[in-house]
Amino acid sequence: MVNLSLGHQFSGPTDPAADAHWPDVRERKGFFTDTSICIGCKACEVACKEWNHNPRDGDLELTAMSYDNTVSLGASTWRHVAFVEQDKERIEVARESGRRLVSLGMPSVRRPQDDAPPGPGASADATGTTDGAPTAYGNVDTTPPDTPEFRWLMASDVCKHCTHAGCLDVCPTGALMRTEFGTVVVQDDVCNGCGTCVAGCPFGVVERRSDGTAAPTTREGERKGEQPDVPKRGVAQKCTLCYDRLLDDETPACAKTCPTTSIKFGDHDDLVTDARERVAQLHAQGMTEARLYGANELDGVGGTGALFLLLDEPEVYGLPPDPRVCTADLPEMAKRAAIATGGMLAAAALAFLGGRR
Amino acid sequence: MTTSEFDATRPPEPPGRRRRFGKLARPRKRTPGGRTDGSAEMLMVPEAQFTSYYGKPVVKAPPWGHEVAAYLFLGGVAGGSGLLALGAQLTGRELLRRNARLGAIAAVSLGGVALVRDLGRPERFYNMLRTFKLTSPMSVGSWILTAYSGGAGITAVNEVDRLVGERLPLGPLRPVLRAVEGPAGWEAALFAGPLAAYTAVLLSDTANPTWNAAHKDLPFVFVSSASLAASGLAMVTTPVRETGPARALAVMGVAGDVAAMKYMEGRMDPVAAEPLHHGHPGELLKWAERLAIAGGVGAVVLGRSRVGSALSGLALLGASALTRFGVFEAGIESAKDPRYTIEPQRRRLAERQAAGVTDDSITTAR
């Protein structure tokens, strides 16, 4: 489209707030959600709803699929705690996929079973047996053992506040904007609800707020079958990383309320450092399934503002395994569209020149 | 799975409600065909295994109704008509010029109404013109649509005025409008091509699996579809003695449409292309191709008969509408099933890693 020097405006590592020409760029803020210590209490969901006055999503239905009745992020749900129960077989698969990740061009992280003190997880996965393995009896280890039979994965998902945010790039009104903290926020008085951002988000986060039900309920009220008042209807809504609280040097509601510090808030660079330390620590304990999500500024979205420590493949938590900001390919799309336009013009010209006979 | 002595007394679980706690789904069979360059056989990476979060979607489908699909069609009709109108203007085909101009303004007006109706806050539609954003195809498209409508509007007012015997209350504006009529035709034609093509970028510049996977070739499908649709409209509205160029454009449009669609599907990730073949969208696209070919053949064989020309034109209009609705619905479907997001992404990640690129994954061990 434009062959100007765009630097890393479309993809690659960059400072998003500086790219947005903020005169006073603040330190980039973000979350680090360490799912290894999430207990699935959903306090973050509640705190988020309370602080942001987000209305009820849906009609208080139970999903009957797990303890997760929130299901997904959406216009009125800006924190979502995923809940997954896994059996022994699936744990082994997760361990193995994490181990492959460690050995994949990451030479500085050694395979934990090579030299790490044998933790409970390491002994279990090294032998492939669950309990009664001879090695487990050989060492007296007082660490509480990882449950080898099954595990529960709990993870509080949130808007990623991408370095290259597809939602923001494709927004036609400028309603989505980059803040001085490097986060992405919808200005609800500007948004006209075109819905392009919904398609633009590779994580399925932002959504246009309807009245929150599949079939609009007409009765007003707070009980089942009734519809509470829905503010900001018809415009795109998503996590703001509590922009209002940030401006007052306050911690976002979810991080503030998290009882296990699974949700950590802070300067983005510090969080990346903390996340790397934490994953190394887990690897040393033999939890090769631990991995970071969003900490790599070379990934398809230029790294995310909200990082995660996961214990399995991202798609197990409903996260895309290889997201790519759509705008990265926009120059090519524009070029192809220009060629196509030229072809259409040529065809029309040919039609008239040939048709003069 | 924990077992207890009470399991025996537990009622059987209803079918379709089996808990699937993150178990690996069996990788589905790939659709045969598709890639013709042999790259499908060259895959040196393991078969992508598909896991998801209880089958819930990863990306969200845009909240777009069929108004948007209708706009894709109408914008194409308007774009093609803008070019036909200019051609007719330059070659002195008065009826074709008039009908193409009126068709253009009708299509663009209906399309605009459809777009505004689809907004979450229609009363704020003018915010589209609040800024000009090169990274937003919707923003660029809004300006293209506005610019096109300006030229198309001026030419259409002139045509209507002539049609009613200069009885529109134009007053002193009439000579001005007549003076700018020619340039306005050029101006509309200048934005006609972009109007037909930008909607392809609008769909592709998203995280939607099917639309995004089509990003290289969808513009060619859309401009072809626009050409054949506008030609079809001209063949319906205009006597055959003036529609020679429209028929020629229709044939080229059909050839381009069918070829570009096939080429596009062949280059897409086979899983991401699946929604174009399955279910309702697949049915629509199948019929779109049939109608396009019928219309194209009709334009050649029956084009000189008024009835044959009109029937062929209708077939072409139908083909274009079905193409747009088919592509639109395929994208919406592809967002609803996590498989279409996860499998292509896993495959491309594995392909990059097999090729030695190991530093660009979002998932890292440290």
Residue of A nearest to B89 (CA): A352
- A166/B207 CB distance under 8 A: yes
The partner residue sitting opposite A320, judged by closest CB among B121, B247, B342, is B342
The partner residue sitting opposite B17, judged by closest CB among A64, A295, A313, is A64
User: How many beta-carbon contacts under 8 Å exist across A and B?
Assistant: 342
* Element spanning A31, H or E: strand A29-34
Shortest alpha-carbon distance between residue B259 and chain A (Å): 13
* In a shared domain, residues A335 and A288: no
* In a shared domain, residues A169 and A213: yes
| Chain A hits for B242, Cβ within 8 Å | none
- A310/B227 CB distance under 8 A: no
Q: Read off the CATH number of the domain in which A232 is found.
A: 3.30.70.20
Say how many Å lie between the first and final Cα of chain B, rounded.
32
A3 in any annotated domain: no
CB A236 within 8 A of CB A175: yes
* In a shared domain, residues A311 and A336: no
* Element spanning A283, H or E: helix A268-284
| Chain B hits for A348, Cβ within 8 Å | 80, 83-84, 87, 227, 245, 249
B349 contacts chain A (CB < 8 A): yes
Residue of A nearest to B361 (CA): A299
**Mean pLDDT (chain B, rounded):** 90
A302 in any annotated domain: yes
* In a shared domain, residues A156 and A299: yes
| Chain B hits for A299, Cβ within 8 Å | 360-362
- A98/B365 CB distance under 8 A: yes
d(C-alpha A82, C-alpha A316), whole Å: 9
The partner residue sitting opposite A316, judged by closest CB among B22, B83, B349, is B22
d(C-alpha A36, C-alpha A28), whole Å: 24
Domain extent at residue A352: 330-357
The partner residue sitting opposite B62, judged by closest CB among A175, A198, A298, is A198
d(C-alpha B103, C-alpha B80), whole Å: 10
Residue A329: name the closest of A305, A303, A306, A301 by CA: A301
- B63/A198 CB distance under 8 A: yes
Q: Does residue B29 surpass a pLDDT of 80?
A: no
Q: Phi then psi for B52, rounded to 5 degrees?
A: -150, 175
Residue A78: name the closest of A151, A230, A185 by CA: A185
pLDDT score for A119: 40
| Chain B hits for A3, Cβ within 8 Å | none
The total number of structural domains that make up chain A: 2
B200 contacts chain A (CB < 8 A): yes
d(C-alpha A196, C-alpha A165), whole Å: 13
pLDDT score for A227: 73
Give the B window 282-301 contacts with A, CB below 8 Å.
Answer: none
Residue of A87, A156, A173 to mutate, interface with B, max B Cβ within 10 Å: A173
* In a shared domain, residues A210 and A347: no
- Average pLDDT, 10 consecutive residues per value, chain A (357 residues): 56 90 93 96 96 86 90 95 93 89 60 42 38 44 62 96 97 96 96 96 94 62 76 93 97 97 97 96 91 96 96 96 96 97 97 73
* In a shared domain, residues A192 and A305: yes
Residue B256's Cβ-count burial label (10 Å; 0-12, 13-18, 19+) is: buried
CB A233 within 8 A of CB A211: yes
CB B160 within 8 A of CB B116: no
pLDDT score for B22: 44
This prediction has a pTM of 0.87
State how far the alpha carbon of B15 is from the alpha carbons of A331, B12, B18, B19, in Å: 48, 9, 7, 10
d(C-alpha A150, C-alpha A153), whole Å: 10
* In a shared domain, residues A158 and A256: yes
Mean of the pLDDT values across residues B159-185? 95
CB B293 within 8 A of CB B334: no
CB B57 within 8 A of CB B338: yes
- B59/A90 CB distance under 8 A: no
What is the percentage of chain B residues whose pLDDT exceeds 70? 87
pLDDT score for A210: 82
Residue the block writes with tokens 């370095």: A163
Q: Which residues of A are annotated as a binding site?
A: 38, 41, 44, 48, 159, 162, 167, 171, 191, 194, 197, 201, 239, 242, 254, 258
* Structure-derived torsion over alpha carbons of residues B233, B191, B220, A166, reported in degrees to the nearest 10: -130
CB B110 within 8 A of CB B149: no
Shortest alpha-carbon distance between residue B321 and chain A (Å): 18
State pLDDT tens for residues B227-244: 999 999 999 999 999 999
Residue A223: partners with Cβ closer than 8 Å, 6 or more residues away: none
pLDDT score for A177: 96
Q: Which residues of A are annotated as a binding site for [4Fe-4S] cluster?
A: 38, 41, 44, 48, 159, 162, 167, 171, 191, 194, 197, 201, 239, 242, 254, 258
The DSSP-derived string for B201-265 is HHHHSSS-HHHHHTTTTHHHHHHHHHHHHHHHHHHHHS-GGG-HHHHHHHHHHHHHHHHHHHHHH
Q: Does residue B41 surpass a pLDDT of 60?
A: no
Residue A86: name the closest of A38, A44, A134, A147 by CA: A147
A349 in any annotated domain: yes
| Between B49 and B222, residue with greater pLDDT | B222
| Chain B hits for A322, Cβ within 8 Å | 345-346, 348-349, 361-362
* In a shared domain, residues A76 and A124: yes
**CA angle (B25 as vertex; B19, B28 as ends), nearest 5:** 140
* 3-state class (DSSP) for residue A97: helix
Q: Phi then psi for B3, rounded to 5 degrees?
A: -120, 150
CATH number for B66-343 (one of 3.40.50.300, 3.90.1150.10, 1.20.1630.10, 3.40.50.970): it is 1.20.1630.10
State pLDDT tens for residues A218-259: 677 777 777 777 888 899 999 999 999 999 999 999 999 999
CB A296 within 8 A of CB B360: yes
Give the B window 210-269 contacts with A, CB below 8 Å.
Answer: 211-212, 215-217, 219-220, 222-224, 226-227, 244-249, 252-253, 256
d(C-alpha B152, C-alpha B147), whole Å: 9
Mean of the pLDDT values across residues B186-205? 98
State pLDDT tens for residues B131-150: 999 999 999 999 999 999 99
Runs of H (alpha helix) within chain B: 66-91, 94-118, 137-163, 173-204, 209-213, 218-237, 244-267, 270-273, 279-301, 306-336, 338-354
ipTM: 0.87
Residue A309: partners with Cβ closer than 8 Å, 6 or more residues away: A32, A33, A34, A35, A36, A275, A278, A279, A282, A290, A291, A292, A293
State pLDDT tens for residues B306-325: 999 999 999 999 999 999 99
* In a shared domain, residues A185 and A44: yes
Give the B window 110-149 contacts with A, CB below 8 Å.
Answer: 118-122, 124-125, 127-128, 130-131, 133-139, 141-142
| Between A178 and B23, residue with greater pLDDT | A178
Shortest alpha-carbon distance between residue B173 and chain A (Å): 32
Q: Phi then psi for A112, rounded to 5 degrees?
A: -60, -35
Q: What is the maximum alpha-carbon separation in chain B?
A: 94
A6 in any annotated domain: no
Fill in the amino acid letter for B153. Answer: G
- A169/B120 CB distance under 8 A: no
The DSSP-derived string for A6-19 is -TTSSSSS--HHHH
B64 contacts chain A (CB < 8 A): yes
B1 contacts chain A (CB < 8 A): yes
At B204, list the tokens: 């592709």
d(C-alpha A286, C-alpha B325), whole Å: 52
d(C-alpha A193, C-alpha A206), whole Å: 12
Residue of A nearest to B124 (CA): A192
| Chain A hits for B54, Cβ within 8 Å | 63, 65-66, 68
* In a shared domain, residues A181 and A314: yes
d(C-alpha A55, C-alpha A229), whole Å: 7
Residue B42: partners with Cβ closer than 8 Å, 6 or more residues away: none
At B87, list the tokens: 């051609």
* In a shared domain, residues A269 and A351: no
B339 contacts chain A (CB < 8 A): no
Q: Which residues of A326-349 are buried (b: 16+ CB within 10 A; e: fewer)?
A: bbbbbeebbebbbebbebbbebbb
Q: Does residue B49 surpass a pLDDT of 80?
A: no
- B215/A292 CB distance under 8 A: no
Q: Does residue B2 surpass a pLDDT of 60?
A: no
* In a shared domain, residues A334 and A318: no
B193 contacts chain A (CB < 8 A): yes
Residues found in chain B: 366
Query: How many of the other CB atoms lie within 10 Å of CB of A226?
Result: 14
- B223/A208 CB distance under 8 A: no
